[in-house]
Structures are given as C-alpha cells and as structure tokens.
Amino acid sequence: MGGRRRVTLRAFVEEVADGSRSITVYAPERDDTLARHFETRGATVDHEPLPDDGSGGFVVVADDGEFVGSLPRRDARRLFSPDASDLELGSETGVELPMNLLADTTFVAFDRRKLLAASREIEDRAYRQGRGTLRVGFQSQSALASQREGYEMLTRETDLDVHVYVSADWDSAVPGATVHAEAAEEIGQFWLVVFDGGGDDRQACALLAEATDDEPGSFRGFWTYDPGRVAALDSYLAETY
C-alpha cells in the first residue's frame, strides 16, 4: 500500500518531476542544442518546420496538453547561457531571463553560473518589491561568505525579512537577517531561494536545486512562479527550521 510522500526538499523536486510539460520548437531547421537542454529538464521536445522569415522561429510551451505560452527561440536559448555578471541586485539593466514559461519543469546538469543567474533574478525581484520574506539556503559556508554583503544590503535597503539557511557550524551573524544554522543533511545538499511575493502572488517565485553525482558542479531541481508551490515551500522551511 502506498503512503503519502514524506515532506522533504527532495519531495518538492520529485513532485515537479512527475509533471508533464512539452516544448515545440517552430524553426526552419531542427535545433538539436535547444532540444537537448529541454530534454535534460524532463520536458518532451518536438520540432515543427517553419519557413525562414529571418526571425529565427519561436518556442511553444504546453503543460499536460494545455497551452502555457510562447517566446522567441533566441530568448529561449539565452536561458542556457545567461551572463550572471549582468544580474546585479537592484540593477535596472539586468537580463530578463524567460523563466516564467519554462518554470515548473525539472532540470539537470545546470551549473553554478546558471543557477547564480536564476538566483539573482529572484533576489532582484524581492529587492524591487521591497517587502515580504526571502529565504536563501547555502550548501557551504564559503558560498554564504562570498555573498554575505549582498544579503546585508537587502536587509539594509528594504523591509524584507531575510532568512539564511546554512550548516550547523556557521558561527557568524548576517546583520539584519535571521540565520538558521542547521545540522539537517538536506540543508547542505540544496541550493534554495524562495521569495513569498511580499503580498503579491504575481511576484512569488522560488528556485530549488540539489547537487547531483552526474558530473562535478551539476544540479537537479526546478524554479517556479506558481504561488501555491512557493507558499508550500516557504511554509515547509518556516515550520521545519
């Protein structure tokens, strides 16, 4: 007899992995590179020929057969090579990644640079909203130390309630933030950024990624703009830690 899946950070990833999102690429020629990237994220990919009108084609996203949205193919490709240096907190010139249409599918083999770019997009959204709760988790103390000033700036310049999750042996404060130094194994395994939207469901978003053994520096996880999923992840962290 099957039972309810025990709530853990990994359970959130598995729930998203059980979904069914499909991608159709409309372009003059098959884009094998783009297809490989989508397929590693658990989505099915189809190609539909399109006359070459100079636009490069477009991508259509569907979830369980229902239309989600579309975007230019060139914008979809940008997702896999974002320049993290362009995504600085509070920047008005930051790159807008096409993450909303591609959310809620699992990804694998994403490296730290791409995850950092996705994290900065969420943190910048929280910065611009200026209120609400932002939860961030680090796999190592060195990762937190390298980004500590950014979170100090968030607490200093906004009304955000910032919570930082790190391994139990962290013994330093992050001024203005609540630090959760935890012995739980999953805290050291997951990269997480969760923003509750600050009272606006349209701003709610989250990233959750677990390091994999496939290759050094690769991750499996998801990002989401679904306010219900964000709220569930936020509640789990608040109630568990």
Characterise 109 by phi-psi region: left (phi > 0), alpha (psi -120 to 50), beta (else).
left
The pLDDT, as a whole number, for residue 6 is 73
Residue pair 206/195 in contact (Cβ under 8 Å)? The answer is yes
The pLDDT, as a whole number, for residue 107 is 60
The pLDDT, as a whole number, for residue 14 is 85
C-alpha to C-alpha distance for 162 and 144, rounded to whole angstroms: 13
The pLDDT, as a whole number, for residue 175 is 93
| DSSP SS3 for 156 | helix
pLDDT along the chain (241 residues), means of 10: 67 79 88 78 82 89 78 76 42 41 57 81 94 93 88 95 91 90 90 96 92 77 87 97 94
Does the pTM surpass 0.75? The reply is no
DSSP designation for 80: T
The pLDDT, as a whole number, for residue 85 is 38
C-alpha to C-alpha distance for 235 and 63, rounded to whole angstroms: 25
At residue 11's C-alpha, the angle toward residues 9 and 15, to 5°, is: 125
Q: CA 66 → CA 13, 21, 60, distances in Å?
A: 22, 9, 11
